[in-house]
Structure 1
């Protein structure tokens, strides 16, 4: 059965990648090749690819070091029947981040999981980035789609300045604009009032989190520079305040 014409499969896949904080990681046993599944915390890299912080003492890490092929399932964790919620299964390879490629995954993971600061520097822990080769999205009857990476990953080839400014923007929003963050969450996304904080921004949107709840605020247009980000956040704040006054 083909998906309905109004179904934005790529948009939903991107949203699941950005909002998910836990997932089921499947690896291959190093000695037998048998499948092995484990629960892991996840964050998203600048392009949306999943980031893991895992210990070399863990069986799934030893499996990855023997065979980097993995799959990762992320779901909406909605109340009620879990099978009625959307989920995405990524297939690809897990690659260890090191050297110059470590800074962004480390920063973005710790923004999403601040409690990991307690063990991130332990020698047995390492960051891994999953490089997807495809995804299988299930979002209900008539909404099952296979996607290629270019359909659900964000193009960051022209956004170097924006990504360099990302952490400063996050810290500024959390220090000086928590009211705006709460308005984004409640008035634009329909969430309940909470201590919403910014955990990431990229060309396509803003990531927010309050406790274990994560939200994704998609931008109405793509941005590639810090000045565009400032303008976008102001526009969204104005829109949220206007909605609050109705």
Structure 2
């Protein structure tokens, strides 16, 4: 048995190395990218380990007289690679088919092996967000500007269908039961349960504080808000807070137990590898 003093030293060292807590588990944090601008719409590709993200130019974002400048990037081996043949605005990974979809201001695209975007559907549509449920092969969710209406796109038939009872969405995630979690008009986070007509509003989350939303590997819907990360459940109006944050997040993605969070000029990786 280790002496008590040794145990205390080990415990203190572990706490200093892993001071971040997510869902009662200790994490360490490293910065995996520093870049000028606001990275958002984070997506992890488990086939390559790459992170896809949209980079927003903050000067154009704060100027109402100009169109917000956005660029699509891949973070590969620590280096940001710009997808320079498209005005990308979001990305989604189809894990089953090993495809990457890029939402642009001129339709839906796929990414080829040379990191170039190739048009596939919805010509002339300004797509500002895209989400790929992993339990369906042929269906994507897209958000189309200027009304930010939500559609499903059948990739096999190349058809889109309006999602009823969701007025608009700025952030969007869909769980394996086809419950649609969204935030509209910078107000409150809601869920439209499959088969229902009236969305349900989550309580306890401040207005205009939702920043990003995703589904983790356990099919949990995780919201990144101004003050931390929350688990949104379809059977409860009260979110469960999983983590407090000391910065305002702009994007979130998961891979196994690893968490990726974006903020102004930064992308962080939270890991349990050094905390066990």
Tell me the TM-score normalised to structure 2 length.
0.28
Give the TM-score normalised by the residue count of structure 1. 0.30
Structure with greater strand percent: 2
Question: Which structure has the highest helix share of the two?
Answer: 1
Q: Which structure has the larger Rg over C-alpha atoms?
A: 2
